[in-house]
Amino acid sequence: MSSTLLTTKLIVHDLEMTAAFYCDAYGFERTGRIQAEIAGEPIDEILLGRPGGPGSGLILMKYVDRPAPRNGEVVLVFSTDDLEALFARVRGAGGGIYVEPYQSETTDFKVGFSTDPEGHLIENLEIPG
Residues 6+ apart with CB under 8 A from 129: none
Q: Judge whether 3 lies within some domain.
A: no
Q: Judge whether 40 lies within some domain.
A: yes
Q: What is the CATH number of the domain that holds 84?
A: 3.10.180.10
Dist. CA 87–CA 127, nearest whole Å: 15
Q: Judge whether 110 lies within some domain.
A: yes
Dist. CA 3–CA 30, nearest whole Å: 26
- Is the separation of the CB atoms in 42 and 108 below 8 Å? no
Nearest to 68 by CA among 122, 17, 1: 17
Q: Judge whether 97 lies within some domain.
A: yes
When divided into structural domains, the chain yields a total of 1
Q: Judge whether 105 lies within some domain.
A: yes
Q: Judge whether 35 lies within some domain.
A: yes
Give the containing element (helix H, strand E) for 8.
Answer: none
- For residue 58, give its domain range: 9-126
Q: Judge whether 23 lies within some domain.
A: yes
What is the pLDDT at residue 83? 94
Q: Per-residue pLDDT tens, the chain, 129 aa: give them.
A: 665 777 899 999 999 999 999 999 999 999 999 999 999 999 999 999 987 776 668 999 999 999 988 888 889 999 999 999 999 999 999 999 999 999 999 889 999 999 999 999 999 999 887
Q: Judge whether 19 lies within some domain.
A: yes
